[in-house]
Amino acid sequence: MNIAIIQYNAGNIRSVSHALERLGVQPVITDDLAIIQAADKVIFPGVGEASSAMKYLHKKGLASLIPQLTQPVLGICLGMQLMSSYSEEGNTKCLGIFAQKVKLFPPSSRYKVPHVGWNTIQQLNGALFNGIPEQVYFYFVHSYYLEIGKFTTAKTSHIIPFSAAIQKANFFATQFHPEKSGDWGHNILKNFLDL
Amino acid sequence: MLAKRIIPCLDIKDGRTVKGINFVGLRDAGDPVELAKKYSQTGADELVFLDITATHEKRDTLRELVRQIARHLDIPFTVGGGVRSVEDVAMLLEAGADKIAINSAAFRNPQLINDLAKRFGSQCIVLAIDAKQEAGEWIVYLSGGRTRTEKTLFEWAKEAQDLGAGEILFTSMNHDGTKQGFANDALRQLSEQLQIPIIASGGAGTMPHFKDAFEQGQVDAALAASIFHFGEINIPDLKAYLHQQQIPIRL
């Protein structure tokens, strides 16, 4: 199986690669449009800042390629946020795969921002969550969130409820980091590889 | 609901864990990768690796170690110890660290926090602060507690947050090693004054000490070293206890 991990100016790409290696798959980390297009599956990971990431994706031609991919695509964290239509982070127009907005968590006296740590997810739907029980913990680290909408396939809450995962056709995405979420995260990645 | 985090801290010297670690069932307790895997399997929520190597070959040893840890560990980990520049951080993140802890270098050059946050994002910048309570004031110390500053814990923590630090790891020098509990009053003040998560460090001796840090200190995470390494408290028991005490915890 050919797995392409999209390389761009975001961090933590290697940790996704390591997680796949632990599943017995050797992915290729690349920004080459032809290799990405030809891959069986594509992972769009990332920790970073939205506006500089989008600039880079435009420069490399990835911004027009990613929405046109037809194989299963998995966005993670910033990757998921960039698949939305717009992010408040840097006032950024994003890829527009999901007609949903990314917003900064509102100020709260009770909860901390960034949302860092292990949080439970609920109301799970779709193939990514096969065999995953409700209310198990996944690792999150982010300050912006995707609203709940018709694409939401898992919910969680921090200050307000938001999308822990979304899906539309072949596009899957998680706000949490399956590659850093122990055994359950491992299962999510395996479910993606099994699609 | 967001769980409170339990974080074992490993001291690393020349690529090996030090400070005498006595972990039952390990082939080699000095191997940080083995130890990291063991901790992640027993429910640690995150790990911190603190490099105390003083030699100039440090960079390469540490980079290789971080690579090995990243390859095998499926929970987040932070690396710290002598991190001085944007280049140091870039190297450690590239090798696979999730977060970087910075301490003295950030105090001497606060702009570093801002530069790191802009380049890599606040989420991977953990500001470590060592402070000692003297005549009622919490005074920041540098260089592993050897150098006194004129700044208070609360001033420096607020400044660091405003510069872009993503978390504060506060070690009370008065409590560290005493096993008499965390500095809960100072932790609560920090937690109330800041918007970013607070990690408590120094003083853990019993399971109720963790409960107190979460409830009285209102911290988001608690870090300890020797009590975990020597098996005085094992993490599954600690987490079962905290869960029973109504603390949100990942079991």
Each residue's pLDDT tens digit, A91-101: 999 999 999 99
Given the residues A18, A21, A77, A89, select the one marked as catalytic. A77
Q: How far apart, in whole angstroms, are the C-alpha atoms of residue A128 and residue A42?
A: 14
Q: List, for residues B132-157, the tens digit of each pLDDT value.
A: 999 999 999 998 889 999 999 999 99
Q: If you write DSSP's letter for every residue of B85-110 in order, what string do you get? A: SHHHHHHHHHHT-SEEEE-HHHHH-T
A15 inside 8 A of chain B by CB: yes
Average pLDDT score, chain B: 92
Q: Would you tell me the crossing angle of helices A182-194 and A13-22 to the nearest 10 degrees? A: 80
Q: How many CB atoms lie within 10 A of CB B210?
A: 29
Q: Please, which pLDDT band fits residue B19 given cuts at 50, 70 and 90?
A: low
Give pLDDT tens digits for B59-84: 788 899 999 999 999 999 999 988 99
Q: What is the CATH number of the domain that holds A168?
A: 3.40.50.880
- Please check whether residue B194 lies inside any domain of the structure: yes
Instruction: Say yes or no for a CB contact (<8 Å) between B2 and A111.
Output: yes
- Which pLDDT does position B13 carry in this prediction? 86
Provide the pLDDT for residue B22. 62
pLDDT at residue number A48: 79
pLDDT for B20 beyond 60: no
Containing structural domain, residue B128? 5-244
Is residue B206 scored above 80 in pLDDT?
A: yes
* pLDDT classification of B54: cutoffs 50, 70, 90: low
Beta strands in B124-166 (DSSP E): 125-134, 137-142, 147-152
Per the structure, the count of domains in chain A is: 1
Q: Are B248 and A158 in contact (CB under 8 A)?
A: no
pLDDT confidence of residue A10: 73
Rounded to the nearest angstrom, the minimum Cα separation between B16 and chain A is 22
Residue B176 domain-assigned (yes or no): yes
Shortest distance, CA A40 to any CA of chain B (angstroms): 24
Instruction: Flag whether residue A79 sits within 8 Å of chain B, measured between CB atoms.
Output: no
- Which structural domain, as residue segments, surrounds residue A112? 3-193
Cβ-Cβ contacts under 8 Å, A143 against chain B: 122-123
The alpha-carbon gap from A100 to the nearest alpha carbon of chain B, in Å, equals 23
Q: Tell me: pLDDT of B177 over 70.
A: yes
A58 is catalytic: no
Q: Are B33 and B15 in contact (CB under 8 A)?
A: no
Q: How many CB pairs under 8 A join A and B?
A: 93
Does the residue B249 lie in any domain?
Answer: no
Contacts for A42 with CB less than 8 Å, ≥ 6 apart: A3, A4, A5, A6, A36, A66, A69, A71, A72, A73, A74
Residue A94 a catalytic site member: no
Please state, in angstroms and rounded to a whole number, the distance separating the CA atoms of residues B166 and B34. 28
The answer to whether residue B187 sits within a structural domain is yes
Taking CB atoms and an 8 Å cutoff, what residues of chain B touch A19? Answer: 74
pTM: 0.94
Residue B45 placed within a domain: yes
pLDDT digits (tens, 9 = 90+) for A39-85: 999 999 987 789 989 999 999 999 999 999 999 999 999 999 999 99
Least confident of A20-34, B13-27, B132-146, B203-217: B13-27
Query: Among this protein's residues, is A177 annotated catalytic?
Result: yes
Angle at B76 (CA atoms; ends B74, B82), nearest 5 degrees: 130
Residue B104 burial (CB count, 10 A): 20
What's the confidence (pLDDT) of residue B27? 63
Give the pLDDT of residue B15.
84
- For B:226-245, CB contacts with A below 8 A are none
Given CB atoms, is B100 within the 8 Å cutoff of chain A? Answer: no
B250 assigned to some structural domain: no
Question: What is the CATH classification number for the domain harbouring B171?
Answer: 3.20.20.70
Sign, Cα dihedral of B246, A118, B201, B67: positive
Residues of chain A found within 8 Å of residue B221, distances taken between Cβ atoms: 117
For residue B136, being part of any structural domain is answered with yes
> Cα separation of B119 and B117, whole Å?
6
Q: How many domains does chain B have?
A: 1
Q: Quick check: B96 and A18 CB within 8 A? A: yes
Q: What is the mean pLDDT of residues A112-125?
A: 96
Average predicted confidence (pLDDT) for chain A:
95
Q: What is the pLDDT of residue B149?
A: 97
Report the distance separating Cα B124 and Cα B97, nearest Å: 9
pLDDT above 70: percentage of residues in chain B: 94
Summarize pLDDT for A130-185 with one digit per residue, the tens.
Answer: 999 999 999 999 999 999 999 999 999 999 999 999 999 999 999 999 999 999 99
